[in-house]
Each structure stands twice: as C-alpha cells, then as structure tokens.
Structure 1
Amino acid sequence: MRTVFAVFGDPVGHSLSPAMHNAAFEALDMECTYYAFRVSREELKAALEGAKAMGFGGVNLTVPLKQEALKIVDADPLAAAIGAVNTVDFRNGMKGYNTDGIGAKLSLEEEGVDIRGSEVLIAGAGGAARAIAFQLAKDGASVTIANRTAEKAIELAADVSAVGNARGCGFENLGSLIRESDVLVNCTVLGMKPDIGGTVATAKDMHSDLTVFDIVYNPLETRLLREAKLAGAKTVTGVMMLVYQGAEAFRIWTGVRPPADVMKRAVLEGLRT
C-alpha cells in the first residue's frame, strides 16, 4: 500500500511540488505518492485531521494556509517564531515545521556563501522574507530588511532580533544598502510573471562581490538576476529554494535525504510546460 503525501492550498493547481516529490519517490523506489488538494482556510482543520486519520505520511501547506495552521498543529520553535507552517508531519501527533528558511540557507551555501558574518539585505517583509530572515539571522548573518512600508520591516526586524542581529528600514536608501551588503535576497514579487520587467535594483547599484538571490522562479532568470550578471555578481535562482525546502520536508517525513538533482530536474521540466 502506497503512503500518500500532499500539498494543501487555494489555489494549488499551479504547484510544482507533486512533480518534484514524485520524481524523488520514484528515484528512490519508495512506495509513496504525492498529490495536490485544494483546501480553503476554513477547511484546513478538517483536512489535516482527515489526512492524519487516513494515514497520510505528511503534507505541505501553501497560501493561504501557513498562518492558519499555527492554530491547529504543534509548531516547532522556529515555525512558531516565524508565524507560519509549511510542513506537517503526522508520525507523532500533528507536528508543524517551516522549511522555507532552510531552503534559502541551503541555496546560498551551495553557491559558496558563508552565512555566518555576512551582511544580508532582504528586500520585502512578507511571509517568505520572514522565514528567510529568521533562518539567516539564527545562522549568524547580520540581516537588514528593507520594505516599501518601513514600519513593517522594522516590526519584522524587532521579531527577528530575538534570534540574531536584524534591523529594518524603507526602500529610500536601497542602493547604498546593496553596496554595503554581501548578499541581496529579493522576497518581493517584482520580476515575477507577468511583471517580468520589474526589479528591486539594477546593475549600477551592485558590485562584483555581491551574491544576488531572487526567490522568484518564474521566469527562471528574472530581470534582477540579469542585472546582477551585468554587474559581475554571483546569482542564485529561486528554483533551488523551492527544491531545498521540499527536500527538507521530505527528510522530515521519511528520514531520507532525497536527490536534489532529480527534484530540480522535475521543477525545471514543469516550468517549461
């Protein structure tokens, strides 16, 4: 009998998680299957309880369910601090985790970025920015969060300061902040389809020792990453964050580290269709 895993969200039809996880299960010859189910915020509690009752191995959560899950599951300390859950494991009750920050961390480390001691500038202050800021600050980076609404960035930085060094500000001095940074992480929707011309910065703001990480993965190469290449900066695509956050969820559920290269290939194939 196959063990079922799933992603819950609304909408969820666009999710690449089924292709990514099923490719890993097949590569490892595991008797598991991963599906996508449309679940509203109001239905989440019943859906999670039903999944557990039916013997699901675990589920991922996407918008708009990540914050709602905190009311239902036993969140681990990091997920509770972030204020969002994207992974639920059913082996010991209903345990909630957030793997978005780990996905970002592993994406940067793969490109040779030493997080400890780095000056990291995060553009945006939404859910993904929150997860990444907590993770990188906890791992020893000095994090600056810049947002169009400065108050939101300052509030987030105050929360992140519980685990590490963080400050918040507006976008007015973004160029000078980038020039002082080792890593720029775009957590805004600028550059995402259909607004593929959008970018938080251009080449004139960057320097060749900078690493530019855009968590947007559609299109695969955003305008921000093209501008970074013009400046001679190192670039990291959002695909790897998607892959590594999924790989960490896979590990939590199964105790097995999946083949990231297989998962990446499945994501890239999904983006091409």
Structure 2
Amino acid sequence: MKSGLLGVVGYPIGHSVSPVMMNAALNASGRENILYIAVEAKPRDLERFVSSARYMNFIGFNVTIPHKVSVIKFLDRLHREAKLVEAVNVVKFVGEKKVGYNTDVIGVEACLTEPVNGKAVVLGVGGGARAAAIALWRKGFDDLFFAGRRLSTMNEFRKFIMRRNISARIVKFGSAELAQAIKQAELLVNATPVGMYPNTDSSPIPSNLIHRKLTIFDMVYNPVETKLLKVGKARGAKTINGIKMLVAQGAEAFRIWLGEDPDEKVMAKAALTALRRRR
C-alpha cells in the first residue's frame, strides 16, 4: 500500500483546516501510512519546496494562496483542466514528473447547483477567480464582471479571459462600475482572501451594495460565516459558504493522488469541527 506525505503549500497557511480534513479522510479509508501536513512557503521559497518535495517522500500536495499561478513554472506538465484554468491547486508526482491539476472548478460548480443566471460579479482576479470564470462560463453566464486592485494582475486576467474567449468586463475595486454591477447582479462570488481568519472583521465590498435578490458565494471557509455572508444574510441575500467548495476540491484531489473516493461527510464534519474549535 502506498505510503508517504501529502500536504498543502501556501503563505500564510495557519488558517488552513485542510490537514485536519484530509487526515480524517485518510484515516477513514484505512490510509494511516499517509500523513497530510501544512507547509508555509513564501513566494521566494516556493521553487525550493516544489523541487525538493519528491525527495521528502511527497506523493503530491495542494497549492493555495498566493501560489496557484506562480507554481506552474516549476511543474513538468499540466492536466487539461489546469491548462484551461491556467492555475494549479493540486500537484501529483508521476514518476519523475510533477503534474499540475485544477480541482477548484469542480469546487465552484459544486456550490452553484441551483439555477442562477443573469449578471455575475466575481471579486478577485487570481487563481480562484480563474476557476470561477471557467465554471460560470460553463453554466452559461454571459454577463460577467471581475474586480481587481492592481493593474498588473487585472491585465494578466484580461489576457486570460481573452485566450479563453470568455466575454467579461474587468473593473477596479471601489469604482462606480463595480458598484453598479453589484446592484444589478444576481450572483456575487468572493474569490479574494478578504474576510479570512484572522482578519474576520473585513469585507471586500461596502454593505450598502448588497440586496435581497443577490446570491453570495464566498470561497473563504475560515470563518464559516464571513462578515460578507453575515451582512448578506441580514440584508436578505442568499448565502453560500466556502466549506462545500473546500470539501469538493479536496475530494477530487484525493481521487487524483490515491485513485479512490474519500468519505466526503467525514471530511466536512472534520473541517467544521476544526473551525468551531478555533473560534
């Protein structure tokens, strides 16, 4: 039976409950000889970790903020979904090769099961936003807005959607265009880390932009109910937290690494229990 390490690499990484969730899944499937750990790596240290992970007996690892795009240049090959999204959140060692995958699209799709259409606004232009762009494009959204802060990342995202023939407008946080788009939107997706532990008093947008016809999906899962979701609920909007995405993308990563289905109920329970203990 396969043995070794799995893990998640990001910066910072202290907020992550992936080790608790994934180790629960490993134990439930009788994989006690595999351990899932968190690895904190600053951007300047990412290449060193990726190049040395196989020699530390890693089977593979997850990739989280802020490395989902930058990790690509250190890999040997991309799976078709990672090629499409141009972002990687799962790496698997296949022989001598480091292969990148993307399971975030599956995670987004798992959260948007009910029919929602019309105008959608995505906050962010990073790896999570790329996954959201592909998922929303597949679901038939044709009126998309994306919001960014830095012109450099906004321009990179603009090139990405052009390569994918996705029709969308890219606006700046704090702009009148973004405010107007949110007021007219039926779906709002937060693909930024704003509101994530420990900065739980932060919200990516002003409260007065939220309305009762809005469905708000926040990719942040720690805390389970972010300030954005709390305000949304108070103002009559429908809210979707990030736990379902966390579990869905993690379960797909498990299948990629080990070739079997994990117990997703065990994963969700472990993640929620860990988050409650951190309050």
TM-score by length of structure 1 reads: 0.83
Tell me if 1:146 matches 2:147: yes
Q: Which amino acid aligns with 1:121?
A: V
Q: Which amino acid aligns with 2:160?
A: D
Tell me if 1:85 matches 2:88: yes
Q: Which moved more, 1:141-150 or 1:92-101?
A: 141-150
- Superposed, 1:148-163 pairs within 5 Å as 148=149, 152-153=153-154, 156-163=157-164
The corresponding residue for 1:21 is: 22
Q: 1:16 to 1:136 in 2, by over 3 A?
A: same
Q: CA RMSD in A?
A: 2.8
Contact 1:137–1:166, Cα closer than 8 Å, also in 2: no
Q: 1:22 to 1:160 in 2, by over 3 A?
A: same
Q: Which amino acid aligns with 1:128?
A: G
Contact 1:10–1:40, Cα closer than 8 Å, also in 2: yes
Secondary structure of residue in 1 paired with 2:112: helix
Q: Which amino acid aligns with 2:157?
A: L
Contact 1:190–1:198, Cα closer than 8 Å, also in 2: yes
Tell me if 1:185 matches 2:170: no
The corresponding residue for 2:275 is: 271
Tell me if 1:242 matches 2:243: no
The corresponding residue for 2:201 is: 196
Q: Which amino acid aligns with 1:177?
A: A
The corresponding residue for 2:126 is: 126
The corresponding residue for 1:59 is: 61
**Per-residue deviation, 1:237:** 0.7
The unaligned stretches of length 5 or more in structure 2 are: none
The unaligned stretches of length 5 or more in structure 1 are: none
Tell me if 1:75 matches 2:84: no
Contact 2:200–2:227, Cα closer than 8 Å, also in 1: no
Q: How far apart in 2 are the matches of 1:138 and 1:82? A: 12
For residue 233 of structure 2, the aligned residue among 229, 242, 246 is: 229
Q: 1:54 to 1:151 in 2, by over 3 A?
A: closer
**Per-residue deviation, 1:118:** 4.5
Q: 1:124 to 1:204 in 2, by over 3 A?
A: closer
The corresponding residue for 1:7 is: 8
Q: 1:34 to 1:184 in 2, by over 3 A?
A: same
Q: Report sequence identity in percent.
A: 38
**Per-residue deviation, 1:45:** 4.2
Contact 1:10–1:39, Cα closer than 8 Å, also in 2: yes
Contact 1:213–1:238, Cα closer than 8 Å, also in 2: yes
Contact 1:134–1:160, Cα closer than 8 Å, also in 2: no
**Per-residue deviation, 1:43:** 4.6
Secondary structure of residue in 2 paired with 1:90: strand
Give deviations 1:59-107, integer Å, cap 9, x for gaps. Answer: 1123444333212211234434544322111135221012223222212
Q: Which amino acid aligns with 1:217?
A: Y
Count of equivalent residues: 268
Q: 1:153 to 1:54 in 2, by over 3 A?
A: closer
Q: How far apart in 2 are the matches of 1:39 and 1:139? A: 35
- Superposed, 1:43-58 pairs within 5 Å as 43-53=45-55, 55-58=57-60
